[in-house]
């Protein structure tokens, strides 16, 4: 009816020009024959809400209840308070049916295997995922090194990096027909014989040339990082040559290759013996120390040679400084804090690092727009904690439904995903929330707010998952005793500051602002979990929100603003694009003259502009002005209350020396971050966004 259309139009006015451009380019459905659009943005949001609510019919909900839920879902998406990840927006109710953004695909040291996890099986799986807009991560460490023998052909192996190039080429081809350019994460663990080739695969001469559809990360274990700090040497290993390799002996190899720290292994083994018949199968007689394992491995000829860990680390740092790759994945931290650690070992993450996943698992994401939860009450600016809790609760229910509505490209992916039912509720608009609350991103107050927000969101997401479990049952592999609550290993706020050697304390203002968080009762929550279980083995995840933050018209993820104004060159001329929140502040100070804005757009920043009000210069620090340590601290704050990963780019100014990268990488490890990536401004040719005007 007429009323309805009026409603549609008004809601579409919430969308920015850029949001409309993005929706038009890739999200709004078109008629395949005429290529004309067959939906408006509101119709898209409605389609998604209807599709994800319809799942509840399977669980015995009445039509009225399903309709009511659809309205809730529609309301939270169309108000831009919650936006699901791109594949859910693109593929809901369509012929293609992948709704998840994140996948990890195993790669075994064989061309193909009956289980479908050989190199070319993985390649096929990857193609199917990319075709529909998902991103894939792989651990290539099981592949035999370059120059090793190939028994069947009496030939010579070409090594993991050369196979990665095949995945890269395939990604290039698929992007031409698919929904968007594919994205991959390639991981190699620090013990692999080809690790040096891997580290150099995207830097120096190969920068901007090789593996352009890959992010790469070195799997760094605690033993490796400790050896770096002490300047000790570490063994490089040929995985084919150790008899102890193989999926059945996961924990055994783990130990044998020096994968894990002793305590962790002890814990696995002890609980295994205690439980008898638990999920992990391990023969006690095979438990040996790392040193003993190395002796065996040497005898088997599996230890290829020893390298100095610090030299290897310097290579990693040099590469990251030069090109942004490789990053690090802290494998021990990931597994220590994996709630369902008893199901196996995690070796890789999805492309941007927010989802450390077991082989074949997928995860779907959705993010809450924090900017929408800054409200004015009695003339004071506050956080709408109740509103936030409500959206978190519906967000988790929505994401859980995505698992049921998903059409999986492969049986292995469906099985692995449904075993653990991982979902990832995240955030965007953090930087704008800070600005609206008058808090500078690079301040201890901001870190404190990050910490408290993360804790609040985790608490309510976990609570929501218990609520869903009450109705629909816990995830199939839920084990009330073995399940590990991440808050038992979360660093407290003061420890973060101490480790980072930051002396400031949070202000009373920010403490008062977040005092509800201090009242959360985690013991009560645990009691509820023990009684009802959890619907999802993980509930939160901080994704980059590259596209959905544009749709929501807010700052991306937990990142600071990137530029306040910049010049966009388009066919019909040059336009200045200015951050709307920044423009509001300029107006307040009567600084919104076109000449002023033009000037600002030249550099994109105001930090160096002595004619700008001091408070504005502090509040509107952009990504490269924020000191690296604050980037890292925000990531660490969010990671403490996150059962998955936290995606973040530590943006560095172009002038930063390699030592900064070294400091950042070491600090990240100490702060319990799961994975770290840096990007130094202008270090690559094809940079998505440039600051200001390029001269």
Tell me which residues are annotated as active site: 350, 352, 354
Question: Which member of 350, 401, 603, 660 binds ligand ADP (CB under 6 A)?
Answer: 350
Nearer to ligand ADP by Cβ, of 180 and 511: the residue is 180
Query: For residues 197 and 315, what is the distance between their CA atoms, to the nearest angstrom?
Result: 11
603 lies in the site for ligand ADP, by CB under 6 A: no
Indicate which single residue of 548, 601, 652, 664 sits in contact with ligand ADP (rule: CB under 6 A). 548
Q: How far is the CB of 134 from ligand ADP (least distance, A)?
A: 6
- Our finding on whether 544 is near ligand ADP (CB under 6 A) is yes
Of 294-302, 344-352, 440-448, 473-481, which segment contacts ligand ADP by CB under 6 A? 344-352
- Residue count at the site for ligand ADP (CB under 6 A)? 22
Q: Does 304 bind ligand ADP (CB under 6 A)?
A: no
Residue 236 or 352 with smaller CB distance to ligand ADP:
352
β-pair type (214-220, 184-189) = parallel
- 514 near ligand ADP (CB under 6 A): no
194-198 CB contacts, 8 Å cutoff, 24+ apart: 194/145, 194/146, 194/159, 194/160, 194/161, 195/236, 195/312, 196/307, 196/312, 196/315, 197/146, 197/159, 197/161, 198/140, 198/160, 198/161, 198/326
Distance CA 693, CA 695 (A): 6
Q: Contact at 8 Å (CB) between 140 and 188?
A: yes
Among 135, 319, 356, 429, binds ligand ADP (CB under 6 A): 135
CA distance 365 to 552: 15
Cα–Cα distance for residue pair 506/543, rounded to 1 Å: 26
Looking at residues 619 to 658 of the shown chain, list those that interact with ligand ADP (rule: CB under 6 A).
Answer: none
Complex with ligand ADP: residue 355 or 656, whichever CB lies closer:
355
Q: Does 366 bind ligand ADP (CB under 6 A)?
A: no
364 part of the interface to ligand ADP, by CB under 6 A? no
For residue 235, the tally of other CB atoms under 10 A from its CB is 19
Record the tokens describing residue 689, joined without a space: 């966004």
- Specify the stretch interacting with ligand ADP by CB under 6 A; choose among 59-67, 350-358, 533-541, 606-614: 350-358
Nearest to 448 by CA among 668, 673, 641: 641
Taking the complex as a whole, how short is the minimal distance between the CB of residue 135 and ligand ADP, in angstroms? 3
Residue among 365 and 482 whose Cβ is closer to ligand ADP: 365
Task: Decide: is 409 part of the binding site for ligand ADP (CB under 6 A).
Answer: no
* Comparison of 211 and 497: residue with beta carbon closer to ligand ADP: 211
Residue, CB closest to ligand ADP: 135
As beta bridge partners, residue 676 has 328
Please give the Cα distance from 122 to 647 (Å, whole number): 24
Closer residue to ligand ADP (CB): 88 or 514: 88
Shortest separation between residue 542's beta carbon and ligand ADP, angstroms:
9
- Compare residues 135 and 219 and give the one whose CB is closer to ligand ADP: 135
Q: Please select the residue that binds ligand ADP; options are 42, 78, 85, 452, rule is CB under 6 A.
A: 85
Is there a cis peptide before residue 453, judged by omega within 30 degrees of 0? no
For 215, counting Cβ atoms within 10 Å of its Cβ (0-12 exposed, 13-18 middle, 19+ buried), the class is: buried
Residue 347, number of CB atoms within 10 A of its CB: 28
The b/e string for 418-454 (b: 16+ C-beta within 10 A; e otherwise) is: bbbbbbbbbbbbbbbbbbbbebbbbbbbbbbbbbbbb
Q: Counting contacts by CB under 6 A, is residue 440 touching ligand ADP?
A: no
Among 107, 352, 497, 652, binds ligand ADP (CB under 6 A): 352
Q: With CB under 6 A as the contact rule, which of the stretches 249-257, 414-422, 545-553, 672-680 interacts with ligand ADP?
A: 545-553
Q: Is 102 one of the binding residues for ligand ADP (CB under 6 A)?
A: yes
As measured in angstroms, the least distance from the Cβ of 547 to ligand ADP is 3
Q: Does 536 bind ligand ADP (CB under 6 A)?
A: no
DSSP secondary structure string for all residues of 228-247:
HHHT-EEEEE-GGG-TT-SG
160-199 residues near ligand ADP, rule: CB under 6 A? 180-183
Q: Which residue among 347, 545, 603, 622 contacts ligand ADP (CB under 6 A)?
A: 545
651, 303 Cβ separation under 8 angstroms: no
Instruction: Assess 26 for contact with ligand ADP (CB under 6 A).
Output: no
To the nearest whole angstrom, how small is the minimum distance from the Cβ of residue 423 to ligand ADP? Answer: 13
Q: Using CB under 6 A as the criterion, which residues of the chain lie in contact with ligand ADP when the complex forms?
A: 85-86, 101-102, 133-135, 180-183, 350-352, 354, 365, 543-548
């Amino acid at each position: 009816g007429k009323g309805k259309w009026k409603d549609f139009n008004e809601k579409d006015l919430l969308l920015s020009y850029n949001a409309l451009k993005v929706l038009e380019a890739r999200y709004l459905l078109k008629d395949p024959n005429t290529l004309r659009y067959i939906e408006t943005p509101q119709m898209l949001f409605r389609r998604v809400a209807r599709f994800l609510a319809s799942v509840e019919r399977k669980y015995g909900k009445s039509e009225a209840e399903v309709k009511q839920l659809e309205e809730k879902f529609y309301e939270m998406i169309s108000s831009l308070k919650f936006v699901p990840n791109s594949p859910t927006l693109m593929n809901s109710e369509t012929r293609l049916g992948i709704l998840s953004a994140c996948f990890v695909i195993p790669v075994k040291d064989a061309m193909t295997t009956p289980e479908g996890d050989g190199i070319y099986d993985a390649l096929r799986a990857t193609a199917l995922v990319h075709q529909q807009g998902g991103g894939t991560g792989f651990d290539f460490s099981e592949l035999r090194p370059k120059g090793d023998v190939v028994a069947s052909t009496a030939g010579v192996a070409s090594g993991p990096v050369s196979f990665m190039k095949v995945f890269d080429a395939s990604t290039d081809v698929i992007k031409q027909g698919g929904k968007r350019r594919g994205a991959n994460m390639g991981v190699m663990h620090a013990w692999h014989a080809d690790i040096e080739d891997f580290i150099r695969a995207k830097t120096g001469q190969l920068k901007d040339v090789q593996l352009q559809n890959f992010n790469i990360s070195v799997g760094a274990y605690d033993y490796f990082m400790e050896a770096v700090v002490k300047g000790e040497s570490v063994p490089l290993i040929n995985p084919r040559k150790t008899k102890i390799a193989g999926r059945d002996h996961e924990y055994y190899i783990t130990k044998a290759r020096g994968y894990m720290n002793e305590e962790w292994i002890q814990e696995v083994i002890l609980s295994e013996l205690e439980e008898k018949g638990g999920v992990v199968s391990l023969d006690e007689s095979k438990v040996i120390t790392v040193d003993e394992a190395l002796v065996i491995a040497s005898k088997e000829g599996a230890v290829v040679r020893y390298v100095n860990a610090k030299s290897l680390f310097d290579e990693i740092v040099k590469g990251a400084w030069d090109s942004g790759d490789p990053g690090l994945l802290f494998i021990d931290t990931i597994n220590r804090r994996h709630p369902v650690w008893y199901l196996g070992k995690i070796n890789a993450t999805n492309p941007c690092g927010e989802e450390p996943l077991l082989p074949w698992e997928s995860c779907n994401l959705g993010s809450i727009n924090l900017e929408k939860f800054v409200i004015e009450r009695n003339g004071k600016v506050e956080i709408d904690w109740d509103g936030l809790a409500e959206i978190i609760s519906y967000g988790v229910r929505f994401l859980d439904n995505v698992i049921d509505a998903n059409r999986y490209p492969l049986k292995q992916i469906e099985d692995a995903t449904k075993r653990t039912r991982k979902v990832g509720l995240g955030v965007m608009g953090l930087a704008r929330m800070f600005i609206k609350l008058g808090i500078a991103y690079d301040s201890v107050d901001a870190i404190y707010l990050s910490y408290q927000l993360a804790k609040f969101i985790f608490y309510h997401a976990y609570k929501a998952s218990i609520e869903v479990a009450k109705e629909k049952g816990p995830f199939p592999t839920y084990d009330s005793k073995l399940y590990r609550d991440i808050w038992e290993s979360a660093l407290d706020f003061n420890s973060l500051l101490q480790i980072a050697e930051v002396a400031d304390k949070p202000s009373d203002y920010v403490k008062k602002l977040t005092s509800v968080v201090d009242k959360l009762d985690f013991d009560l929550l645990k009691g509820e979990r023990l009684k009802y279980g959890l619907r999802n083995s993980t509930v939160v995840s901080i994704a980059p929100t590259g596209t959905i933050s544009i749709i929501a018209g807010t700052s991306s993820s937990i990142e600071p603003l990137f530029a306040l104004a910049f010049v966009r060159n388009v066919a019909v001329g040059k336009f200045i694009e200015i951050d709307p929140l920044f423009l509001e502040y300029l107006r307040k100070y009567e600084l919104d003259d076109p000449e002023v804005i033009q000037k600002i757009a030249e550099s994109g920043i105001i930090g160096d502009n002595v004619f700008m009000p001091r408070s504005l210069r502090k509040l509107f620090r952009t990504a490269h002005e924020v000191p690296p340590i604050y980037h890292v601290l925000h990531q660490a704050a969010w990671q403490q209350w996150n059962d998955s990963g936290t995606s973040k780019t530590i943006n560095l100014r172009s002038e930063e020396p390699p030592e900064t990268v070294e400091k950042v990488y070491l600090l990240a490890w100490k702060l319990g971050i799961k994975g770290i990536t840096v990007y130094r401004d202008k270090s690559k040719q094809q940079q998505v966004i440039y600051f200001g005007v390029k001269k």
